[in-house]
Structure 1
């Protein structure tokens, strides 16, 4: 149920500070660590000596040392040394290609020979001084596709996020969904509405009036394996909406990297990138706090939804026009998984 020959966000650099990090991605238990040169490596989290989790070890002289009996393993998975023992003949353990870029550590979970660093998603905002970013990580007990459904249909904001970004006008604006290759785009535009609390605060943060009618937009972009970027914002009504000049609007990109852990759990890297007042660290912190609360509301709903689905496997789910974004994203995922499976069968034949 996972695309394997692709890049997933494994962690943030901060998570690797001081010690190895154990993480399961697409059912692959792995350990990530930095060597003496600062390069990140990812290995399967299984010591070949006695099967201990390598995440319980430590880094010494650039190698990962098992915390059970001291077997040292290099970043390429080769057993390097062990006090008083000859381990050069031990088989290497699996290593996963990694790339550190755009403020994230990416890992390739499929065929290592197919890994191409050039295919790591390009995030223009991450490397520009004109943008500020603040985000976080949630560990959520749900199928990764449920989170994609959630992000590709923002109708739920009216109910789940009623006190922050929700408003009844969302339901009155029909979404439009298009598919361009592997990308699925769902758009919704609202005209001459009052901004909800979160966006009123963002307008104030950008030095704009928050008590006047605004045009609002939500443009959700899914790209495989499980990334969703959402262009969101409000502009004073009559100034051009999504296309308004910067001095008339507050807009951002909601960043969603959904990394499957198992069939029913995910690592959810969330955040918001904005291109107004990027130097204002306090504004970044305020927006991050507000976003964290909003995504916390999603967490509660998604975990309850997953429990309900597991308890009722025989129940079918209904589909409405508002579900088009999630439905199309799932079709892309299914097609790519089938394509990978077919290629593997040919290679093994």
Structure 2
């Protein structure tokens, strides 16, 4: 049994990653080929020729179609055969490659590898900071060799910032601030409020003001495998609260973990922010800085996954700081069991 939900929207790629040349990516154990048609819409097709299973991503684009590089079988963007390997042979329309529902929204290409009739675009998460006037959004991608749930655990427990990211966003006050965890339907929220503290280097530079600040971190888990983190600081006299905090500088860290295999995933990361939104140079520099921060996470998590595989008789322990990740895993497990009962 897999460790992920199937009938869900997953991020397959950033919008800029998919162009006319085929892109190969394994999503939830399924090899997928992505490309854009001439009208710029996206095709998602199983990356295996129905003839001899050579990856279609190695093929030749012809208009909106793809021709297999092995024997020349030509498939349309709907996956249906348009030409057989022998030009004199009548086209057999029953020869086809599986295609998947796709959507493009919030700078991401979304894919549904489950039952196509259930792929409602309205179910795509509302990433309002990524598409709202007054905010700017950018980010990047890392392939990571670990179970996608380990990244969810990591993002729902920001106490690790103090040690893993000590040179950028970590500070001792993170360990001292009380945690508040709550579950609302199929979402988990983990909140931390840090009043009257010194801002860490990044937030001090963003605020451009001296003096103590109030700092907040609100982690939100979304099915099937996303974490949004509302972060920022405001001067202590600005009146910011955990519920209302647009008085200072604010960002929304966007994290989507798309399973690849049981021990690897695609990590799409970025941040939308409401400050310096017209400074494209800062956007590029910050993307590089954020990429460096997440590279530190990747190093830790890949080492953790290797240690898990090397210690098959050991189980992960859960402390108070792990409550957000534990609750998220519980929701994933409940949804998987419910899906099995429907299918069974």
TM-score tier, shorter chain, comes to over 0.9
What does residue 48 of structure 1 align with?
50
After superposition, what is the alpha-carbon deviation per residue over 1:147-196, rounded to whole angstroms, capped at 9, x for unaligned? 00000000000000000000011000121110001000000010111111
CA distance in 1, matches of 2:198, 2:130: 31
What does residue 72 of structure 2 align with?
70
Task: Check 1:174–1:58 CA distance in 2 against 1; reply closer, same or farther (3 A cut).
Answer: farther
What does residue 14 of structure 1 align with?
16
What does residue 258 of structure 2 align with?
259
CA distance in 2, matches of 1:64, 1:28: 19
CA distance in 2, matches of 1:94, 1:17: 20
CA distance in 2, matches of 1:111, 1:342: 16
CA distance in 2, matches of 1:58, 1:189: 54
CA distance in 1, matches of 2:240, 2:310: 44
1:289 is the counterpart of 2:293: no
What does residue 88 of structure 1 align with?
92
CA distance in 2, matches of 1:270, 1:156: 18
What does residue 301 of structure 1 align with?
300
CA distance in 1, matches of 2:236, 2:285: 25
1:82 is displaced (CA, Å) by 3.4
> Which deviates further from its counterpart, 113-122 or 133-142?
113-122
- Is the CA contact (8 Å cut-off) linking 1:183 and 1:224 kept in structure 2? yes
What does residue 58 of structure 1 align with?
60
- Is the CA contact (8 Å cut-off) linking 1:235 and 1:244 kept in structure 2? no
CA distance in 1, matches of 2:122, 2:104: 12
1:238 is the counterpart of 2:237: yes
CA distance in 2, matches of 1:130, 1:90: 50
1:329 is the counterpart of 2:331: no
What does residue 318 of structure 1 align with?
317
1:165 is the counterpart of 2:169: yes
- Is the CA contact (8 Å cut-off) linking 2:84 and 2:92 kept in structure 1? no
Which of 107, 123, 138 is the equivalent residue of 1:103? 107
- Is the CA contact (8 Å cut-off) linking 1:178 and 1:185 kept in structure 2? yes
Which of 186, 189, 203 is the equivalent residue of 1:199? 203
State TM-score, norm by structure 2: 0.95
Unaligned regions of 5+ residues in structure 1, if any? none
Q: CA RMSD in A?
A: 1.5
Structure 1 residue matching 2:163: 3-state secondary structure:
helix
Structure 2 residue matching 1:238: 3-state secondary structure:
helix
- Is the CA contact (8 Å cut-off) linking 1:35 and 1:59 kept in structure 2? no
1:254 is displaced (CA, Å) by 0.2
Where in structure 2 are the equivalents of 1:266-285 lying within 5 Å?
Answer: 266-285=265-284
1:127 is displaced (CA, Å) by 2.4
1:189 is the counterpart of 2:162: no
* Paired positions, count: 339
> Which deviates further from its counterpart, 35-44 or 266-275?
35-44
1:103 is displaced (CA, Å) by 1.0
1:91 is displaced (CA, Å) by 2.9
CA distance in 2, matches of 1:216, 1:245: 9
State TM-score, norm by structure 1: 0.93
1:87 is displaced (CA, Å) by 3.5
